[in-house]
């Protein structure tokens, strides 16, 4: 069967990570989150992590050259050769062009761009209550999607923490960066005929059902 290569688009807090966790299991896709990869580099104190941290704390994009090397290595790994789900990448038009070029070099292509639509005021509420697990970045919300036991990840038992950049000032800055640099990608993928839009304000399970049905259709069309 043809590979299923997807990207998830949407503002910070739209639910990309939440949906990626679910879709990865439905379709055996490699979940590639540039945010998670960067946070792992920061936690391990690598040179790349040290270079990235000040941009992340300020709510700005990490320079393309740091991200592009990391991504092109990751999408050629064995698990991602059978299909991937990119979460948090691409975030500007030069990253989108670089992704298309990297895939074309090995006769690969994107199957779809899934856009989650959520208004700004809901984003601030979501990100202020977001908690993630220390071990694998599994995502929760103190009110909207709480874990079974407060402060503990349902999936791996590790401690839940608040991310350094989920503070109100940084959230506002990230929304500005999204509007300026990332939102134009919606048009870019619409023109390429790859865009599918979803109402991200619904309950996480409902959003998941909608996306899953769309991805199943995309896969069927690809087989015809
Ligand atoms: P969210 O989806 O909540 O905005 P992410 O975990 O995707 O957060 O990203 C956190 C931070 O990591 C971003 O604010 C940015 O500094 C950096 N980052 C993640 N992905 C990219 C990328 N593709 N390009 C540049 N910076 C990135
Ligand atoms: P992103 O990866 O786009 O930044 P996340 O998946 O981390 O977004 O979700 C941001 C916050 O919103 C988390 O606290 C998550 O639990 C919560 N959340 C995600 N999807 C929904 C939803 N459909 N309804 C309510 N809250 C949600």
The sheet carrying 160-161 orders its strands as 139-141, 130-133, 160-161
Catalytic residue list contains 91: yes
- Among 50, 54, 61, the mutation site with the greatest number of ligand 1 atoms within 8 A of its Cβ is 61
Q: What is the Å distance from ligand 1's center to 153 Cα?
A: 22
Q: Give me the residues of the chain with pLDDT under 70, please.
A: 1, 224
**Is 215 within 8 Å of 6 (Cβ atoms)?**
yes
Q: What is the Å distance from ligand 2's center to 63 Cα?
A: 25
- Residue 55: CB within 6 Å of ligand 1? yes
Q: Which fold has domain 4-119+178-223?
A: Rossmann fold (3.40.50)
Q: What is the pLDDT of residue 49?
A: 96
Q: What is the pLDDT of residue 74?
A: 95
**Is 96 within 8 Å of 64 (Cβ atoms)?**
no
* % of the chain beyond a pLDDT of 70: 99
CA-closest residue to ligand 1 atom 3: 12
pTM (global) more than 0.85: yes
| Chain segment 41-75, per-residue pLDDT in tens | 999 999 999 999 999 999 999 999 999 999 999 99
Query: At residue 78, what are phi and psi to the nearest 5 degrees?
Result: -55, -45
Q: Which of 39, 126, 131, 174 is catalytic?
A: 174
Catalytic residue list contains 167: no
Number of Cβ atoms within 10 Å of the Cβ of 43: 10
Q: What is the pLDDT of residue 46?
A: 96
Break the chain into its structural domains and give their ranges: 4-119+178-223
Q: What is the pLDDT of residue 222?
A: 78
Q: What is the pLDDT of residue 224?
A: 64
**Rounded to the nearest 10 degrees, how much is the dihedral formed by the CA atoms of 8, 29, 72, 185?**
-10
Q: What is the pLDDT of residue 80?
A: 93
- Look at the block and give the residue holding tokens 């792992």: 40
Ligand 2 atom closest to Cα of residue 12: 4
CB-side neighbour CA atoms (13 Å) of 97 = 5
Q: Which of 53, 163, 173, 202 is catalytic?
A: 163
């Amino acid at each position: 069967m043809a590979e299923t290569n997807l990207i998830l688009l949407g503002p910070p807090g739209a639910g990309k990570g939440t949906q990626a966790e679910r879709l990865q299991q439905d379709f055996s896709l490699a979940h590639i989150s540039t945010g998670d990869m960067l946070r792992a580099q920061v936690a391990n104190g690598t040179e790349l992590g040290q270079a990235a941290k000040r941009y992340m704390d300020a709510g700005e994009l990490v320079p393309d050259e740091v991200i592009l090397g990391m991504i092109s290595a990751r999408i050629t790994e064995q698990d991602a050769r059978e299909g991937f789900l990119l979460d948090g990448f691409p975030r500007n038009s030069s990253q989108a062009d670089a992704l298309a070029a990297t895939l074309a070099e090995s006769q690969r292509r994107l199957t779809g761009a899934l856009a989650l639509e959520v208004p700004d005021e809901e984003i601030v509420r979501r990100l202020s209550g977001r908690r993630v697990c220390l071990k694998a970045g599994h995502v929760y919300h103190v009110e909207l999607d709480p874990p079974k036991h407060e402060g503990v990840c349902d999936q791996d038992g590790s401690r839940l923490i608040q991310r350094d950049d989920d503070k109100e000032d940084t959230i506002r800055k990230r929304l500005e960066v999204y509007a300026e640099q990332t939102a134009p990608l919606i048009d870019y993928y619409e023109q390429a005929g790859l865009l599918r839009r979803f109402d991200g304000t619904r309950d996480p399970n409902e959003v998941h059902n909608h996306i899953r049905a769309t991805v199943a259709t995309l896969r069927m069309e690809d087989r015809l």
